[in-house]
Amino acid sequence: MHALLLLGAPRFLGVLIGATVQNLRTALDYLVYQLAEWYSGPDFARRTQFPIEDTPEGFKGRRNTFLKGVSDEHVASLDLLQPYEGPNWLSWIRELSNLDKHNVLPVVPGVGGSITIPVGRSDEEAVAAGGFRRPGEVGMYFKVPMYIAFGDGFPVIETLEELKTETRLLLQAFEAELERQSPHSSYRRLMRQHNSPICRHF
């Protein structure tokens, strides 16, 4: 016996997922802003952004815009992270972020694994199997493992967890860099004014 389940995911899930993705993207942008401020000092006219480029040429073209004020050493580190060899976690964040800017992220319910529909069991047997009885003349008992996925089938929760982990590891990798003594004295003064714990290292 085969069954076709037509289910719809609530639209607000796409809104919540989009907000999560934008938070991750913003964390990356804040990192570049902090790197530029650490090396070159405060400059509120700068419009820094974490570049995510598919080609070395595209990345180099961002040197004087997105990466203005960032040291050559840190630019080289960001260069190594780029998805030149194919999609990686950064390109996932970029695509999801760009899509969310123009529309609610599409998510769909999916079915994980097989569906068992035993027929003719007693109610007690159905409960023991983790299913339930569908009203009608024939007893049918459903136990359907469900998950929420992006439109291309990738599971939402697992994908977001991976993106969160990768973002956290990247921020932690640069944390030690930002705790080194800044070559720019105005950065040190700014940190003291804001009572930043980083000031203890200066």
Q: pLDDT (tens digit, 9 = 90+) per residue, 162-187?
A: 999 999 999 999 988 887 767 765 55
Q: What is the pLDDT of residue 176?
A: 82
Kindly state whether residues 117 and 97 are assigned to the same domain. no
Provide the number of structural domains found in the chain: 2
Residue 185 is encoded by which pair of tokens? Answer: 């004295």
Kindly state whether residues 99 and 69 are assigned to the same domain. yes
Kindly state whether residues 36 and 46 are assigned to the same domain. yes
Kindly state whether residues 139 and 169 are assigned to the same domain. no
Q: What is the pLDDT of residue 20?
A: 92
- Whole-angstrom distance, CA of residue 73 vs CA of residue 175: 15
88 occurs within a structural domain: yes
- Whole-angstrom distance, CA of residue 74 vs CA of residue 39: 10
Domain limits for position 80:
11-106+152-201
Q: What is the pLDDT of residue 85?
A: 92
Q: Quickly tell me which residue has 């006219």 as its tokens.
A: 45
Q: What is the pLDDT of residue 67?
A: 97
1 occurs within a structural domain: no
Q: Which residues of the chain have pLDDT under 70?
A: 1-11, 102, 104-123, 125-147, 151, 181, 184-202
Q: What is the pLDDT of residue 143?
A: 53
Q: What is the pLDDT of residue 68?
A: 96
5 occurs within a structural domain: no
Q: What is the pLDDT of residue 6?
A: 40
22 occurs within a structural domain: yes
Last residue of a domain, one of 150, 166, 182: 150
* 188, 202 contact by CB (below 8 A): yes
Kindly state whether residues 43 and 140 are assigned to the same domain. no
**Would you list the DSSP string of the chain?**
----------HHHHHHHHHHHHHHHHHHHHHHHHHHHHHH---TT--------SSHHHHHTTTTTTTTT--HHHHHHHHHTS-TTS--HHHHHHHHHHHHHHSPPPEEEEE-S--B--BS--HHHHHHTT--BPSSSS-BB-B--EEEEETTS-BHHHHHHHHHHHHHHHHHHHHHHHHSPPS-HHHHHHHHHTT-GGGGG-
Q: What is the pLDDT of residue 103?
A: 72
